[in-house]
Each structure stands twice: as C-alpha cells, then as structure tokens.
C-alpha cells in the first residue's frame, strides 16, 4: 500500500499543542510512578520526554534508538541502541504509536518498563500503558519538527493532503 492510499487525513500538531499534550500525559503518569528514569524513543520521543522529565523531576534520561520510518513509508524496524536491563522502574516515552512495530521492539528490549505515548492509533494502542490522544489509523500526524508554515487550500476544495 502506498502512502497516498494509507493516509487520507492529516492532523497538524503545533509546538504549543504538543507541550500541552505532553504535560497532560505527565499528569496521568503521576499515578503510575514514581519512576527511576525516563527512556525516550528516538527521535520522536525526545521532545515529549524532555517535557515529561521536567514535570516529573526525572534526571536520569536515556534513549532507545529505533529506525523504522522513511517519511510516510514504514520499513523494517530495528533497534540500533538500547539501555541495559529489563526496564524495571523506567518510563518509556514516545510521540506516537502507529502500527505498533516500534512499540513491539521496544517492549521486547524493556519488558518491565511503563510505556507512554502522547498520540496513539488503534493498531498500536494496545501496546502502550498510557496515551493522551487517539487518532484514526488513516491519519498522518504532522509534528512541529517536520513542518513549516505555508498556505493550505480549504478542505472544501478537495485537496489531497498526501
């Protein structure tokens, strides 16, 4: 399936909205903690992890580095760097769980960690412990680090977004 067929909608996220949603996730995580440290899933989880680390006063910050996307096309996911151990006491933070391919790999590496994501799609949602916003599987989320401001046609004009 090509990207134009898979994603029929877009959901743009501003820096302000991402910050609000990550902070909302931090509020929900208070009930799941305390945590010894945080593990950001790179690259998308870096920004939400920084916000959550601040809100939960977590100073031990690590990364799990997973490669799976090339623009809108998902490839074979692989872990290229992971923390030692089974994840006991750690909080994994991701920006989005889409098909669950990345989440499965991360869960295999850190099975005892709590997994939280800001945004979740139906296929990936069962793999995380906590999320803030669910979007449909056919929606491409435009994160603020992947976009720049430009004119967009009104929806009524029938413009395809992907």
Can you tell me the distance from the alpha carbon of 31 to that of 160, in angstroms, rounded to the nearest whole number?
42
Q: Hey, is 67 helix, strand or coil?
A: strand
Res 74: pLDDT: 60
107 within domain boundaries: yes
Residue 162 lies in a domain: no
In a domain, 12, yes or no: yes
Q: Which residues constitute the domain of residue 7?
A: 3-157
**Could you give the number of structural domains in the chain?**
1
Tell me, what CATH number does 78's domain have? 3.40.50.2020
Q: Is residue 29 part of a domain?
A: yes
What are the residues whose beta carbons fall under 8 Å from the beta carbon of 158, sequence distance 6 or more? none
**Where does the chain show beta strands of DSSP type E?**
9-12, 37-42, 61-70, 73-81, 90-97, 114-120, 130-134, 139-142
Phi, psi of 55 (to 5 degrees): -65, -30
**Averaged pLDDT score across all residues of the chain:** 90
Do residues 12 and 35 lie in contact, with contact meaning Cβ atoms separated by under 8 Å? Answer: no
pLDDT digits (tens, 9 = 90+) for 49-108: 999 999 999 999 999 999 876 655 666 788 989 999 999 999 999 999 999 999 999 999
């Amino acid at each position: 399936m090509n990207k134009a067929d898979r994603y029929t909608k877009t959901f743009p996220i501003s820096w302000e909205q991402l910050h609000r949603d990550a902070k909302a996730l931090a509020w929900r995580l208070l009930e799941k903690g305390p945590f010894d440290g945080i593990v950001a899933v790179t690259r998308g989880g870096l920004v939400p992890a920084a916000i959550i680390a601040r809100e939960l006063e977590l100073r031990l910050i690590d990364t799990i580095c997973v490669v799976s996307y090339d623009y809108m096309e998902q490839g074979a996911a692989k872990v290229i760097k992971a923390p030692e151990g089974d994840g006991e006491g750690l909080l994994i933070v991701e920006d989005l769980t889409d098909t669950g391919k990345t989440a499965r790999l991360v869960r295999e590496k850190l099975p005892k960690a709590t997994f939280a994501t800001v945004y979740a799609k139906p296929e990936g949602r069962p793999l995380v412990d906590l999320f803030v916003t669910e979007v449909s599987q056919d929606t491409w989320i435009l994160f603020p680090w992947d976009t720049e401001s430009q004119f967009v046609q009104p929806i009524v004009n029938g413009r395809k977004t992907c």
